[in-house]
Amino acid sequence: MRALVQRVSEARVRVGSEVIGEIGPGLLIFVCAMQGDSKAEAAQLVHKISRLRIFRDDAGRMNRSVADIKGAALVVSQFTLAADTKSGTRPGFSKAAPPTEGELLYRYFCDQMRQTELPVATGEFGADMKVSLVNDGPVTIWLDTDDRKPRSQ
């Protein structure tokens, strides 16, 4: 599973003219389920993100988590994180989980984020969404559970 995490002072997601998710200070989390991912990868990613110390402490160092600052999370599905750009100029997305599996893992990820007791807002899986944000820092972190798996030789 992949995630692009941005530290934000605010973020919102619209579908059409309706704001369906909005947060103040916290994390905007774009997530993508990859082929072969399971609930274990989603839970691992939630664990990592919820404890990620990327917020400033009193000394100005990145030493606090989103929970430490009493922030929130806005979780948006984004299958384009699976883009393969190794050849040509048109990205391929064949490594993304099929839509049915992707949606199940996205929903599970969101449910697990809520279990951390953070306020969680979400986008709408598969919708054409407009996301706006104010990136704080800017701080943007790329996470991929595949980076933790042993690679075959």
List b or e across 35-74, with b for residues whose CB sees 16 or more CB atoms inside 10 angstroms: eebeeebbbbbbeebbebebbeeeeeeeebbbeeeebbbb
Which uninterrupted H or E stretch holds 43? helix 39-51
Out of 79, 109, 112, 122, pick the active-site residue. 79
* 79 given a catalytic annotation: yes
Q: Where are the beta strands (DSSP E) in 39-91?
A: 55-56, 62-64, 72-77
Catalytic option among 35, 80, 115, 140? 80
122 in catalytic set = no
Q: Known catalytic residue: 115?
A: no
Those residues with Cβ within 8 angstroms of residue 54's Cβ, 6 or more apart along the chain or in another chain: 5, 7, 62, 65, 139, 141
Residue in 6, 30, 55, 78 annotated catalytic: 78
Which of the residues are catalytic?
Answer: 78-80
